[in-house]
Amino acid sequence: MQQAIAVLDSGVGGLTVVKEVMRQLPREKILYFGDTARTPYGSRSPEQVVEFTREIVDYLVQFNPKMIVIACNTATAVALEDITSRVSVPVVGVIGPGARAALGRTRTGVIGVIGTEGTIRSGAYEAALNRLSGGKVQVVSEACPGFVPLVEDGNFRSARTREIVEASLATLRDTQLDSLILGCTHYPFLAETISETMGPGVALISSADETAREIRSILERSDQLAATADGAPLHQFFCSGDPAKFREIAQTWLGEQIRLTPVVWQVPHIGA
């Protein structure tokens, strides 16, 4: 039986990573979990995000995945080290890859970061960018808590979406940044409106592409991990909330039918 790459997110945002993994690594089986019942994570405490991430990983390990991808910036910021210490397989986050991609694109050294309140509050992107650049970049950050609910509702292009995006990015538009990290995997769903708001001089950086490349690099360095089976793999998707809404968004984004299993959590405090 082919071992899967397990990808988890607070909701549908991690599907942006899944789409890129499917493109770059078409032979790899994906096991996806979207915690749609408890999204968004950005307004929750770090302790609660760590707890939720542990619960999802504990659920996914029953399927014996060969790698775990935390495709949620908030969870990556506060739970990556914890999860890495708890499992025996490689664990990949999205902040490091996103920071590297931005450094490769910026010309002025002024990089913007938008994300959830939790991600921005953690300072994880600023730390990664300064570490990777030797402190040679200027980082301008802005929390955009209104974006995730739009995506989870499937509201990607509307007058209301434009209004929220323009209001959220008003401060950043007055800066001299030339690259903007979409520091939440939900945000690529809104990329068209974000790009129109920021203008053609600002490159949008999604961590999805770079994260998929990092996954591929890990697989190539470990021959025993790479998929060898011919033919298209059968991916599996799980969600903790409304399966109909999840399926609609996933099929629109991925362009294919998905095998979806709604998950009813048995732990009493979950969903609180």
- Between CA 204 and CA 81 the distance in angstroms is 27
Count other C-beta atoms under 10 Å from residue 72's C-beta.
Answer: 35
185: DSSP letter: T
Q: Cα–Cα distance between 251 and 245 in angstroms, integer?
A: 10
Give per-residue pLDDT as tens, 35-62.
999 999 999 999 999 999 999 999 999 9
- Strands across the sheet with 179-183, in order? 138-143, 110-115, 179-183, 203-206
CA 138 remoteness from chain centre:
23
Q: For the chain, which domains are there?
A: 5-93+209-262 (3.40.50.1860), 95-207 (3.40.50.1860)
Which residues belong to the active site?
72, 184
Task: Give the model's pLDDT for residue 272.
Answer: 37
**How much is the pLDDT for 228?**
66
Pick the closest to residue 32 from 268, 251, 266 (CA basis): 251
The predicted structure's pLDDT at residue 9:
97
The Cα–Cα gap between 114 and 168 comes to: 9
According to the model, what pLDDT value does residue 88 have?
Answer: 95
Q: How does DSSP classify residue 188?
A: G
Q: Give the pLDDT score at 1.
A: 52
Residues in CB range of 50: below 8 A, 6 or more apart: 78, 79, 82
How many angstroms separate the CA atoms of 119 and 73, rounded? 6
- 60-85: per-residue pLDDT in tens? 999 999 999 999 999 999 999 999 99
Using CA atoms, how far residue 34 sits from 38, 53, 216, 245, 272, in Å, is 9, 11, 22, 12, 17
**Total-model pTM:** 0.91
- Tokens 């939440």, residue? 184
Question: Which residues of the chain have a pLDDT value below 50?
Answer: 266-272
What is the spatial distance between Cα 107 and Cα 168, in angstroms, rounded to a whole number? 24
Task: Tell me the residue ranges of DSSP E strands in the chain.
Answer: 5-9, 30-34, 67-70, 91-92, 110-115, 138-143, 179-183, 203-206, 236-239, 260-262
pLDDT at 265: 60
221 and 195 Cβ atoms separated by less than 8 Å: no
